[in-house]
Structure 1
Amino acid sequence: MALSFFSPRLLIFSIIIIPFLASIALYRLDTFDPARLPDEALLYSTNSIPPLINDRFLTGAEFIGVGLLKSPEDIAYHRDSGLIYTGCADGWVKRVKVLESANDSVVEDWVKTGGRPLGIAFGLHGEVIVADAYKGLLNISNDGKKTELLTDEAKGVRFKLTDAVAVGDNGVLYFTDASYKYNFHQVAFDMLEGKPHGRLLSFDPTTRTTRVLLRDLYFANGVSMSPDQTHLVFCETTIRRCSRYYINEERVELFIQDLPGYPDNIRYDGDGHYWIALPSGVTTLWKISMKYPFLRKLIAMATKYGFEIMFPENAGVLQVNLDGKPIALYHDHTITHITTGVKIGKYLYCGSLLHSRIIRLDLLKYPAH
């Protein structure tokens, strides 16, 4: 009789109470400590939605290098040779000869960095500058025969995630260290923690000097030189904004905020527009979790145990003018992880952190309306 009386209570205690108490204990013991984000990071409006939209980005898109390009994160176009350079997850910087037919494109394994090449730009003397997430800032010269480490630390702090790079007309390299705390495979934790671990830096090849231009950035990501060479435009992924950094005056001003997604690379097209890649749009779960640090802690704990909760969706590329005014948005609800958008002629070429291909869209055939 006593056993039958206590069994239901014991069952409830075992199934509900014990796991609940264990969860509370795990939560309190976990050292992950998310911070409240700035108020401007929690804005959600239609101010950055442009008048022109193509919301079926994949309709009419072509795929280049399918299966040969493993997660080509950034894209740089060399006009003299007509080659596209991109860094892949297998450590290779690859060169792509793009022809009229995407199926006829030729992919070449060019240089293996031994790390994870991300941002790519061209130096003044034909060299290829690579921001390698693990190695640092690299200079590849002599048609790929020589790879040199330029810098991997600043003010005694090593780069943890060298991300994007741009080159000034004077040869100075401008680049981002997305986080000095988390590495490439820990990106989710940096965003969930909500603390500014990013830096904007410069490297002068003449003096071999590395300078920290800005610190305390919320996942410093893409960077682009302005056409008049007076300032940089750089992205902060976590708080969905891009800012200007005026080089001579060493001052910062807002370029665009409250973006419809989380910005990655930003590229100037030589024709009065920047193209900002958005690996994911703003989802309902991201909105809620960004507002409440305790939710981000729970998500981080789940992530540590292999549970993926924060699914990206609705990736795309936002076109803005030199004043940061939105012009057009190319996106698709069925795609994620678009990390760069480069306009070459009539085409928009997009890199990805997930898919093994470069996406090409004919902007004349499939414009935003």
Structure 2
Amino acid sequence: MSLFFFSPRFLFFATIIPILVSIALYRLDTFDPAHLPAEALAYSTNSIPPLFNDRFLTGADFIGVGRLNSPEDIAYHPDSGLIYTGCVDGWVKRVKVHDSANDSVVEDWVNTGGRPLGIAFGLHGEVIVADAYKGLLNISGDGKKTELLTDEAEGVRFRITDAVTVGDNGVLYFTDASYKYSFHQFAFAILEGKPHGRLLSFDPTTGVTRVLLRDLYFANGISMSPDQSHLVFCETPIRRCSKYYISEERVEVFIQGLTGYPDNIRYDGDGHYWIAMPSTVTPLWKLGMKYPFLRKLTAMAAKYGFDPMFMENAGVLQVDLEGKPIALYHDHKSSHITSGVKIGNHLYCGSLLHSHIMRLDILKYPAQKKL
């Protein structure tokens, strides 16, 4: 072998050229992440509950294995006893759950041709779907008719129609996580750290779509309060859930400084909300959220096929009506949990990654105080 390969000149060029190329690529890349607000980097001890089940995969069983492709949100219809969920292949599926997970029946119900995310039930038997690509959809109770209700507001199209809830007066409230990025680009929406999300309403009587709040950080899950006075909605990257008072048109913090990134939020009809968190705040996420240049490097790598979403220790946080934490069900081996719904004595969890719904008997495997 030639001694040239060990010469100082070769070693200099072998080192400096990749550095210069990397700097040039970094400067030329147009992705421009922003500094997040200070509260997004803070951690609140008020978000830590007194009770934990930190091994909730132990004892869990799995429903619809292989039949449910990334069931992101879960909605339970108490009259029919069916679970509705939207999958990445466009199917809204219905699941009849039995005591034995293996006996549960999965039905391909309606394919939206998009990516159904949030699901809620209308006042007259219809199923309301927030489809990331299509917009807000109304599916008749028999599944024979799908109607587009709205896909834009103030002349701006929804890019990630995310979650939906229905008021007792029939008005639909929903989130558009980003009007800049589409669903398959959602990682960039989070990495960019800019507020392109909106909270909206749609009145089926008038056909009017209103923007209630704008400049939200990846507006995600939404739930109506039991007294119908306000909504609770999540902003994922800044780890905050807020209240929006409908009549007063004002906002206040519900819970912030969460230990993970909130996705969907569901009210259980029994005085509690359940907030799904696809990941805890890992050391890598903590650094990335603090330093925009690291998020830019991550986004650049993602353009070449690198998965930027480091997720682990996912779980579901139970809080009371004032946002006070009660219990956290999580597991270090779990990731991508996007919804949690309490049905009877069981917690049902949807996922952005897995091919099943997870179920845990929380009476048999309760959250407890740490020793």
> TM-score if structure 1 supplies the norm length?
0.98
Q: Alignment partner of 1:114: what SS?
A: coil
In the other structure, the counterpart of 1:355 is: 354
1:281 aligns with 2:274: no
Q: Alignment partner of 1:302: what SS?
A: helix
Alignment of 1:311-350 (within 5 A): 311-350=310-349
| Structure 2: runs of 5 or more not aligned | none
Q: What residue identity is the alignment partner of 2:206?
A: T
1:300 aligns with 2:325: no
Answer whether contact 1:162 1:176 (CA < 8 A) is retained.
Answer: yes
1:342-367 deviations in Å (ceiling 9; x for gaps): 00000000000000000000010000
In the other structure, the counterpart of 2:136 is: 137
Distance 1:107 1:41 in 2: 39
In the other structure, the counterpart of 1:110 is: 109
| Structure 1: runs of 5 or more not aligned | none
Taking structure 1 as reference, are residues 113 and 6 closer, same or farther at Cα in structure 2, changes over 3 Å only?
Answer: closer
Q: What residue identity is the alignment partner of 1:252?
A: V
Answer whether contact 1:267 1:275 (CA < 8 A) is retained.
Answer: yes
> After the TM superposition, which parts of structure 1 deviate over 6 Å for at least 4 consecutive aligned residues?
none
Distance 1:141 1:313 in 2: 38
Distance 2:103 2:42 in 1: 45
Task: State the number of aligned residues.
Answer: 367
Answer whether contact 2:299 2:308 (CA < 8 A) is retained.
Answer: no
Q: Alignment partner of 1:174: what SS?
A: strand
Distance 1:127 1:5 in 2: 75
Distance 2:178 2:54 in 1: 32
Q: Alignment partner of 1:276: what SS?
A: strand
Q: Alignment partner of 2:136: what SS?
A: strand
Q: What residue identity is the alignment partner of 2:8?
A: R
Q: Alignment partner of 1:349: what SS?
A: strand
Q: Alignment partner of 1:47: what SS?
A: helix
Distance 2:120 2:80 in 1: 14
Distance 2:344 2:287 in 1: 40
Distance 2:317 2:60 in 1: 17
Answer whether contact 1:91 1:116 (CA < 8 A) is retained.
Answer: yes
Among the aligned pairs, what percent are the same residue? Answer: 82
Answer whether contact 1:285 1:310 (CA < 8 A) is retained.
Answer: no
Deviation at 1:219, TM superposition (A): 0.2
Taking structure 1 as reference, are residues 201 and 12 closer, same or farther at Cα in structure 2, changes over 3 Å only?
Answer: same
Deviation at 1:142, TM superposition (A): 4.4
In the other structure, the counterpart of 1:223 is: 222
Which moves more between the two structures, 39-48 or 337-346?
A: 39-48
Distance 2:8 2:147 in 1: 68
Taking structure 1 as reference, are residues 33 and 4 closer, same or farther at Cα in structure 2, changes over 3 Å only?
Answer: same
Answer whether contact 2:285 2:310 (CA < 8 A) is retained.
Answer: no
1:164 aligns with 2:163: yes
In the other structure, the counterpart of 1:82 is: 81
1:261-287 deviations in Å (ceiling 9; x for gaps): 000000000000000000000000111
In the other structure, the counterpart of 2:365 is: 366
In the other structure, the counterpart of 2:48 is: 49
Answer whether contact 2:4 2:10 (CA < 8 A) is retained.
Answer: no
1:71-108 deviations in Å (ceiling 9; x for gaps): 00000001110000000011000000001111100000
Distance 2:362 2:228 in 1: 28
Distance 1:201 1:142 in 2: 24
In the other structure, the counterpart of 1:124 is: 123
Which moves more between the two structures, 145-154 or 181-190?
A: 181-190
Answer whether contact 1:328 1:368 (CA < 8 A) is retained.
Answer: yes
In the other structure, the counterpart of 1:236 is: 235
Q: What residue identity is the alignment partner of 2:79?
A: D
Taking structure 1 as reference, are residues 219 and 359 closer, same or farther at Cα in structure 2, changes over 3 Å only?
Answer: same
Answer whether contact 2:241 2:253 (CA < 8 A) is retained.
Answer: yes
